[in-house]
Amino acid sequence: MYYKSEVNGVARIPPALFSEKLETAVEKQLKTDYEGQVYEELGKVIQILDVKKIEEGVIIPGDGAAYHRTKFVMLHYVPEINEIVEGDIKDIAKFGAFVDFGPFEGMIHVSQAMDDFVSFSKSGTLAGKKSGRNLKTGDYVRARIVAISYKDPKNPKIGLTMRQPALGKIEWIEADTKDERKAMGKVEEKPVEKKKKVKK
């Protein structure tokens, strides 16, 4: 889920930025320090949007840089359990598929790829035995986040599933939706018996 949050932090302004306006130097340094970084509580920082407050700086002896307490606004993405994500399959392995859904990459284990017995083929695809459906690199899919691990805070492991209704390769979802509409149409098309008029 994407969030826009106000955060308190410290900007370390190196001497190389002393010639800049303070606001410009702080914004540049915050962008360098935060954008693209991953934190367990903030997820991935996408962009520094605005600097709200800059306090008076402090120079620490032996460092030479100026430290300013700041309040700033950031756009960040925090993966959440049960969240629906969409993205491209970047790689296929014997044990599953890797999906790039923007801020992060998630992994779909073979057991979660589809509601079918799945095998890894020589052509580098995951194929369903009964359904005949397959997944390959470049396919666009919709999945649900089912597990998140921050053992490595800079590179969280995200587990995905596609074994639920309205999940999977986009073409599968469209085909299933079409089949459901047809089935509903058949029910609706049953002739309605007209009531016979009774003469009084």
- The predicted model scores a pTM of 0.78
The tens digit of pLDDT for each residue in 1-48 reads 999 999 999 999 999 999 999 999 999 999 999 999 998 889 999 999
197 part of a folded domain: no
Q: Are 90 and 145 part of one and the same domain?
A: yes
The tens digit of pLDDT for each residue in 119-160 reads 888 888 998 888 888 999 999 999 999 999 988 878 899 999
What CA–CA distances, in Å, run from 10 to 13, 56, 165?
9, 11, 46
Domain finish residue from 23, 57, 77: 77
Strand ranges for the chain from DSSP E: 2-13, 38-39, 43-54, 58-59, 66-77, 84-93, 96-100, 105-109, 118-120, 126-128, 134-135, 140-149, 157-161, 168-169
**In which band, very low, low, confident or very high, does the pLDDT at 167 lie, cut at 50, 70 and 90?**
very high
Contacting residues for 123 by C-beta, under 8 A, at least 6 apart? 136
CATH of the domain at 141: 2.40.50.140
Q: Are 66 and 108 part of one and the same domain?
A: no
Which residues form the domain of 18? 2-77
Q: Do the strands 2-13 and 66-77 form a parallel or antiparallel pair, or are they unpaired?
A: antiparallel
Nearest CA-CA partner of 163 in 140, 141, 180, 183: 141
CATH of the domain at 70: 3.30.1490.120
Q: Are 48 and 124 part of one and the same domain?
A: no
